[in-house]
Structure 1
């Protein structure tokens, strides 16, 4: 995975840590004179340009100049709130925050900063972006932490099995999986950004027919209703965070880029908990090749169980057909998990993987009985509930700060 590709995997996180960048690279363009003041703190044209470029690189939902200016105004308010309570964050605290943020893309802070610099973003932009986020987190905890009281009953309720608290959640989504063979990753990401920006099912469907390489492309990427727990765990939060008719940011997979649109969400059958999956992957050959088409057609015609794949693969290298026995769903690569999510045992789907076609067949799906089925402890549940409560306070407090601020545009 290239450094830039890993950088783009942070696209869904950019709104979680606000920043307040300062000028350093004059060649990036923009004036250093303040064009907006927020409670006496200036925001320069250069900073707005840098913020906009930063958001574009991370493929944030809002990337216009107006979006960048508004984000910087809110950052100034976060810093201002910290000053009001005498909060100071030292260099060590900022560095720790930078490492944590970059680590979400399996990068060091140095690697992440280098990738930004190579794409025209001032290194100080990232540092101050993180600093403002760290300041805000401490402000919110100091101001509202004492008001968050998670009771024993709250924890008990959160830990109660889903089958006892009501029905589970099911989702109606559309998918687009775009091949990203070596040397063409940029083209795949550009197409994925178009899908992410689509508003409404019709616009997404038209682009899915054009770019997606999965069997669902002919249906505009539309999938049937499915329980949310069938999706790969790393994707569930992104799907549930959408409003119907909107799409996720591009999701980098092995040899492909994926985008999903939420069409509807509703109640479903009670969840049975974490699952273990047994499945097989069959490397068919180069995408679009006669061999790949022939093998896929033969599987569709003759194969109804995983064991029958051995007959089709006879004479091919042993590495072409791989059996995966009782793998915890959380450990399955997302590119395989996406196909398995809407398959029943004995069904298969061909997925693009770089320049190759790989057939994925589900053999069995069972309720997990190993460590993956262990529920989170009470301390983990308490921390999650506290964070959720603080997020609610933080949104309201920021809105109040902006309403009361003295903001002057020059």
Structure 2
């Protein structure tokens, strides 16, 4: 997510920027809603953190257009009866801090050091929530995807690259055992070396501290991360993947059963999601463009 990236950048190259409170000079009026020079300056400073725009003047132009779009989005959401949930906005703001491994107070400090008020980020989140409501409730119903087209696309995709159905067992070396990722990976590699099939996976795990084994059941290639799917495609039944670092430890996947996929359901679901997202974005762009054409936008 772009916002998380900007926080990490700020941490690495934090420089104090003095934000001068400017007079609230109205620069743009969108259907009666004002956008001030201060609003534009704040958004431009925020874009600077995101590394958007080639220059300050370029960022101000981008900021002005973005704020006009957001004014249209929030007004349309309000017209349709969708109000931004302030609690949800606050929670999203908190998640940004958590994902960047920061406290909310530290996030506020970083933004302030860059001359950006927390309100600027929250206003952006508020507009995003409002527009998501419009897209989900108004535009999604306009997106029609033919099952026949999906069938043809799924068969073509299967023809391009063979996909598989698996019965998988996960072996996880938990980080709760202490020690470094390196040491847990070394233990996982030792386990892998001695692995002799799914039937003995649990028994073998008893020789290691905090090694958990659980059956994942059926998984289709499209339900796995691409690097994992690519590795498993090359392995035979009874084999186990190389250790990978995950959120709660070091993970390996053992193949208990494997067969070439004949069921197109998983492939179709992924295609439906990809195609649907693309069509929805097109509908949303067209809807926003229509709002712009019909709007009263006065630049001062």
Normalising by structure 2, we get a TM-score of 0.55
Per the TM alignment, residue 379 of structure 1 is displaced from its structure 2 partner at its CA by 4.9
Q: Is the 8 A contact 1:30 1:49 kept in 2?
A: no
* Cα pair distance change 1:153/1:58, threshold 3 Å: same
Please give the residue correspondences for 1:11-410 in structure 2 after superposition, counting only pairs within 5 Å: 27-61=19-53, 64-99=59-94, 101=96, 105=100, 111-157=106-152, 159-160=154-155, 162=157, 164=159, 274-275=230-231, 327=242, 379=269, 381-410=271-300
Match of 1:7 in 2: 7
Normalising by structure 1, we get a TM-score of 0.42
* Cα pair distance change 1:120/1:379, threshold 3 Å: same
CA offsets, 1:21-54, max 9 Å, x none? Answer: xxxxx95333213111011100011111100000
Q: Is the 8 A contact 2:53 2:62 kept in 1?
A: no
RMSD across aligned positions (CA) = 4.1
* Cα pair distance change 1:5/1:385, threshold 3 Å: closer
User: RCO higher in 1 or 2 (8 Å CA, sep ≥ 6)?
Assistant: 2
Per the TM alignment, residue 233 of structure 1 is displaced from its structure 2 partner at its CA by 6.6
Q: Is the 8 A contact 1:97 1:134 kept in 2?
A: no
Q: Is the 8 A contact 2:31 2:296 kept in 1?
A: yes
Q: How many Å separate the matches in 1 of 2:26 and 2:285? A: 27
Secondary structure of the 1:43 match is: strand
Unaligned runs of 5+ in 2: 11-17, 162-224, 234-239, 247-253
* Cα pair distance change 1:162/1:52, threshold 3 Å: same
CA offsets, 1:75-134, max 9 Å, x none? Answer: 111111112212112222223433455566455665544422232110111111101001
Q: Is the 8 A contact 2:5 2:50 kept in 1?
A: no
Secondary structure of the 1:150 match is: coil
Q: How many Å separate the matches in 2 of 1:142 and 1:4? A: 28
Q: How many Å separate the matches in 2 of 1:161 and 1:105? A: 40
Q: Is the 8 A contact 1:4 1:115 kept in 2?
A: no
* Higher CA-based Rg: 2
